[in-house]
Amino acid sequence: MFKILFLVRRKPGLTHEEFVHYHLNVHSKFLAAAPQAKRFVRKYLRPLADPNSNKQDYDAVLELWFESREQFEAMSGTIDPAVARQIAEDERNFIDVETGVLAYSYEESDSQLPG
């Protein structure tokens, strides 16, 4: 499994709840631009010590899963440039786009823990 990972911070001035609401209810419509994706995982983060703290490094870890890197690359070449612009413009409504991290990983293996 090939996964694209996004670590994102909310746009300054938004609460965590506003960020999550916008992502789930507005921005999620753009998932239709990635029909080859097998799964989309959203992990909204909160600090352990103080859930209301503004010292959280990232607000979400997002994963877009594909069967292979080749499948991801093939999909990337088929996205309408106008839709890609709309996605980028909409991200600026709720994400601090200057501080995000984009990475990829391969699902190699799971390790069983003792016990």
* Exposed / middle / buried, residue 95 (Cβ in 10 Å: 0-12, 13-18, 19+): buried
Point out which residues pair with 102 in neighbouring strands: 6
Phi-psi region of 66 (alpha: psi -120 to 50; beta: other; left: phi over 0): beta
Residue 22 confidence (pLDDT): 96
- Total-model pTM: 0.80
Domain boundaries, the chain: 9-106
Tokens of 105: 């990983």
Residue 67 confidence (pLDDT): 92
Looking at 3.40.50.620, 1.10.3720.10, 3.30.565.10, 3.30.70.100, the CATH number of the domain 9-106 comes to 3.30.70.100
Could you give the count of Cα atoms lying within 13 Å of 29 in the half-sphere of its Cβ? 9
Residue 36 confidence (pLDDT): 85
What string of pLDDT tens digits covers the 115 residues of the chain?
899 999 999 999 999 899 999 999 999 888 887 888 899 999 999 866 665 655 658 999 999 999 999 999 888 888 888 988 999 999 999 999 999 999 999 877 778 888 7
Residue 54 confidence (pLDDT): 56
Is 1 within 8 Å of 64 (Cβ atoms)?
no
